[in-house]
Amino acid sequence: MPNGGSDCCGTCWFNAKNKVEAGYGYAKDSEPDFCAIRGIAIGDAFYTYCANHPHRSPERNPKPVGPVYTGDDQGNRTVLIALPDTPENRKSHLELLSRVDVRAAEEYPLGLPLCAVVIDQLAEWGEVRAIPELERINGLPWPRYDDFVDGVSSKVVEGAAAALEKLKRMRPGK
């Protein structure tokens, strides 16, 4: 079944159609695709993505992480639905940021890694409380030993550096 990557809503355990299972087992069912954690209908499940997918969040995080993306079979992804800026969403993203370590480089290599989505989301919100964690992340010894890991590492490192620069300019008193 052609799609834009196996990290799509069509294979996600949060897609109600998939009966809490990850994979292609229910792909041909006639039931509509619906995101159970975001409460939204999914128009094109095999070209729709988010950071809650099992490839990104194997611990089955039920709190929405970052926006919903649409994409193509070339790996291009753009924001389809922004994540609402609420105190609960900020808190859960700050908690996720505090757990980022170099193991993130082992994540599924297509699309944005979970921690890069978290970093981008906090920067989008202008969340200056993220600055200490971004500084910590920038100081981690990110692995650089093959194309996939290097690609994931560079997405995280570059995202953290850009977010840090943006947030430091926004910090009160600076």
Structural domain that includes position 133: 84-174
Q: 140: which residues sit within 8 A by CB, 6+ positions away?
A: 101, 102
Domain match, 92 and 19 both: no
Scanning the structure block, which residue is given the tokens 């981008």?
A: 120
Domain match, 34 and 53 both: yes
Q: Report the DSSP pairing between strands 68-71 and 77-81.
A: antiparallel
Domain match, 111 and 56 both: no
Tens of pLDDT, residue by residue over 64-93, are 999 999 988 777 889 999 999 999 999 999
Number of domains present in the structure of the chain: 2
Tens of pLDDT, residue by residue over 34-61, are 999 999 999 999 999 999 999 888 889 9
41 bridge partner residues:
34
Last residue of a domain, one of 64, 83, 102: 83
Q: What is the DSSP letter of 9?
A: G
pTM (2 d.p.)? 0.89
Q: 169: which residues sit within 8 A by CB, 6+ positions away?
A: none
Residue 46 vs residues 57, 116, 155: alpha-carbon distances, Å? 18, 22, 23
| Cα–Cα distance measured from residue 155 to residue 102, given in angstroms and rounded to the nearest whole number | 12
Beta-carbon count within 10 A of 129 CB: 13
| Cα–Cα distance measured from residue 154 to residue 148, given in angstroms and rounded to the nearest whole number | 10
Domain match, 2 and 77 both: yes
